[in-house]
Amino acid sequence: MTAPLFLLETLADPRPAVGAVLELGGDEGRHAAVVRRIGAGEQVLVADGRGRGVRAEVTAASKAGLTLRVVEHLDAPDRALRVVAVQALAKGDRSELAVEMLTEVGVSEIWPWQASRSIVRWSAERGEKSLGRWRSTAREATKQSRRLLQPALRPVLSTAGLCRELAGVDLALVLHEDATTALRDVDLPERGTVALVVGPEGGITPEELEQFAAAGARAVSVSDAVLRTSTAGVVAVAGLLLR
């Protein structure tokens, strides 16, 4: 069974040498020792969430955390293409489900988008709390999937703000059921950033499609059916990565 992963944002730079002692304390360490009941002799993974990590053996455990001996250095794979998922705000737990699955498949960033037809509205304090839940969801999904790289989440974007960002990526694709081009037929750049825009439950408006097109984005389809906002993005990302 794969060793469990714990996140330690303060993992030293440079990383502790192989054979060095590393302390895993705080909430992560207490969870590992008290909740997971991980003890001496077991192995764990510790990562900083930015692509660097170590495999380590537990030498001691207490209520305060774990004492570890570094066994191996680990690094996230260097992908030629970075995938950014633009996720429209959705009602209920749909958005957080999307964030969880997008993290699991390995996107580099997730951009929340306040679409015209999004029922949910992020503003002021509510927006900060909602973004915090997205970040917490991405963190837990990073650990569950044993990824060394936790996707970055930025504050919610308006359509105008999103268009400015899309104009700066190497390839921008908008998922839409009426698109005449399939994702599998799109030529991908050899390197750079690909952004995938996922609309809300009510769909992307014609005006938004026009704005995206003006920013250089192309509409593409990923299925012969209409997918939920929580699943469309992960289907598209998986299709991209398999190519």
Comma-separated ranges of CATH 2.40.240.20 domains in the chain: 5-75
Start-end ranges of CATH 3.40.1280.10 in the chain?
A: 81-242
Q: List residues bridging with 192 in a β-sheet.
A: 81
Q: What is the mean pLDDT of residues 163-176?
A: 97
Q: Does domain 5-75 have CATH number 2.40.240.20?
A: yes
| pLDDT tens by residue, 115-146 | 999 998 888 778 889 999 999 999 999 999 99
pLDDT at 1: 65
Residue 225: its pLDDT value, please? 83
Fold of 81-242: Alpha/beta knot (3.40.1280)
Cβ–Cβ < 8 Å for 115, 90:
no
* 45-66 pLDDT per residue, tens: 999 999 999 999 999 999 999 9
Residue matched to tokens 């952004």 = 195
Across 80-227, where does the E strand assignment appear? 81-88, 109-113, 152-153, 171-175, 192-198, 218-220
Gyration radius of the chain's alpha carbons: 20
Alpha-carbon gap, residue 24 to 58, rounded angstroms: 10
213-227: pLDDT as tens digits: 999 999 999 988 888
